[in-house]
């Protein structure tokens, strides 16, 4: 009886996933059709949505058409198309903003633009639903079955594992090379409070605890209940071959506010954790090897960094 119930649940989940995939396929075909219309007949489409048919409108519609075709091909050609579906959502937002801007122009046909905007909003709702379902399915089907987005970044630093570990283990050092961190306050040996920058000038906060700490080798942590951004991970310090210092590897798993759409938004604005950590590890390498962070314009911050011993 229990086996029948399990099989029934499995069959139900499979049918649900198949329905989501069919919806994604339909939306991918819709992208291709709309994109072709925008590229081939931008003048007729401009008339349909109520904007002035001129060279600028045709140029914009053709560029949007190329975007739609690329997105449609991505959805139809990928086995895991959630990211491409979120790309459709991003395109929908751009379309809505463009129509809203056109609404205020004197030559605009507001009734046609309003009708077009209502259609885009309806499709956006469908796109968001489909993207959320696909993201959920892909997370459930991931190799380790754990929730969240995984990130791994590695660098080699010409210092011993003990030196790199000691600098990192003092968490109040972290904002010195992690540009997205505003502050880390420690409470006792294992708990800490983190304040980090978020897109659009916002901040996020969370409490974390160390769940494993092996001096000179590894620090593992997880966020506590109530975190703005649920996260967990570890940083490992391993001696590089040939006495070339320390291989530092950061493994992070996080659940962004707003789910996959929040992750896409952060990535578009250059504030996605994978991008941040890669930059942070380069800054850490400079601090520990040189004592200073080299800016992109090849200048160097004035003064000796606290991580670098003073000259005697």
d(CA 34, CA 37): 5
* CA pair distance 45, 58, nearest whole angstrom: 9
Q: What 3 state SS string does the chain have? A: CHHHHHHHHHHHHHHHHHHHHHHHHHHHHHHHHHHHHHHHCHHHHHHHHCCCCCHHHHHHHHHHHHHHHHHHHHHHHCCCCHHHHHHHHHHHHHHHHHHHHHHCCCCCCHHHHHHHHHHHHHHHHHHHHHHHHHHHHHHHCCCCCCCCEEEEEEEEECCCHHHHHHHHHCHHHHHHCCCCEEEEEEECCCEEEEEEECHHHCEEEEEEEEEEEECCCEEEEEECCCCCCEEEEEEEEEECHHHCCEEEEEEEEEECCCHHHHHHHHHHCCCCHHHHHHHHHHHHHHHHHHCCCECCCCCECCCCCCCCCCCC
pLDDT given at position 14:
46
> What is d(CA 103, CA 95) in angstroms, rounded to the nearest whole number?
12
Q: Which two tokens stand for residue 13?
A: 């989940």
Predicted pLDDT at 201: 72
Provide the pLDDT for residue 203.
84
pTM of the model: 0.51
So what's the pLDDT on residue 276? 82
User: Residue 135 burial by CB count (10 A; 0-12/13-18/19+): exposed, middle or buried?
Assistant: buried
* CA–CA dist 44, 36 (Å, integer): 12
Query: How far is residue 1 CA from its own chain's centroid?
Result: 43
Largest CA distance in the chain: 79
Cβ atoms 33, 123 nearer than 8 A:
no
Ramachandran sector of residue 244 (left: φ over 0; alpha: ψ -120 to 50; beta: rest): alpha
**Residue whose tokens read 């139900």:** 12
pLDDT of residue 5: 46
Q: What is the dihedral of CA 294, 252, 270, 200, to 10 degrees?
A: -110
Here the tokens at position 237 are: 């310090």
**First-to-last CA distance in the chain?**
79
Q: Which two tokens stand for residue 134?
A: 């696909």
User: In a structure prediction context, what are the per-residue pLDDT tens digits for the chain, which is 312 residues long?
Assistant: 444 444 454 344 444 456 778 888 899 899 999 999 999 999 999 899 988 888 898 999 999 999 999 888 888 887 778 878 888 888 899 999 999 998 888 888 989 999 999 999 999 999 888 888 887 776 554 444 455 677 889 999 999 999 999 999 999 899 999 988 899 999 888 999 999 887 667 788 999 999 999 999 999 999 999 888 788 999 999 999 887 899 999 998 877 655 554 554 444 444 567 778 889 999 999 999 988 676 644 333 434 444 444 333
Domains and CATH numbers, the chain: 2-140 (no CATH), 149-290 (3.30.530.20)
Supply 198's token pair: 């978020």
């Amino acid at each position: 009886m229990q086996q029948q119930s399990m099989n029934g649940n499995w069959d139900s989940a499979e049918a649900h996933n198949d329905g989501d995939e069919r919806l994604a396929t339909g939306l991918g075909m819709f992208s291709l059709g709309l994109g072709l219309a925008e590229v081939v007949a931008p003048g007729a489409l401009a008339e349909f949505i109520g904007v002035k048919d001129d060279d600028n409108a045709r140029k914009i519609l053709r560029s949007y058409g190329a975007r739609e075709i690329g997105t449609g091909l991505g959805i139809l050609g990928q086995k895991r198309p959630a990211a491409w579906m979120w790309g459709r959502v991003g395109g929908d937002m751009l379309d809505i903003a463009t129509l809203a801007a056109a609404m205020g122009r004197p030559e605009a046909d507001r009734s046609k633009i309003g009708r077009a905007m209502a259609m885009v909003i309806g499709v956006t709702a469908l796109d968001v639903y489909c993207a959320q379902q696909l993201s959920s399915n892909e997370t459930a089907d991931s190799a380790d079955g754990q929730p969240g987005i995984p990130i791994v970044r590695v660098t080699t630093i010409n210092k011993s594992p003990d030196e790199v570990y000691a600098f990192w283990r003092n968490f109040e050092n972290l904002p010195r090379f992690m540009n997205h961190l505003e502050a880390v306050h420690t409470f006792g040996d294992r708990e800490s409070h983190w304040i980090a920058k978020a897109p659009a000038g916002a901040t996020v906060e969370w409490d974390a605890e160390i769940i494993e700490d092996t001096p000179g080798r590894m620090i593992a942590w997880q966020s506590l209940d109530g975190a703005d951004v649920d996260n967990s991970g570890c940083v490992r310090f391993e001696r590089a071959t040939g006495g070339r210092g320390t291989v530092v590897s950061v493994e992070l798993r996080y659940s962004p506010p707003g789910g996959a759409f929040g992750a896409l938004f952060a990535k578009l604005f250059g504030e996605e954790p994978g991008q941040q950590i890669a930059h942070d590890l380069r800054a850490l390498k400079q601090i520990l090897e040189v004592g200073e962070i080299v800016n992109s314009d090849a200048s160097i911050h004035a003064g000796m960094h606290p991580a670098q011993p003073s000259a005697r």
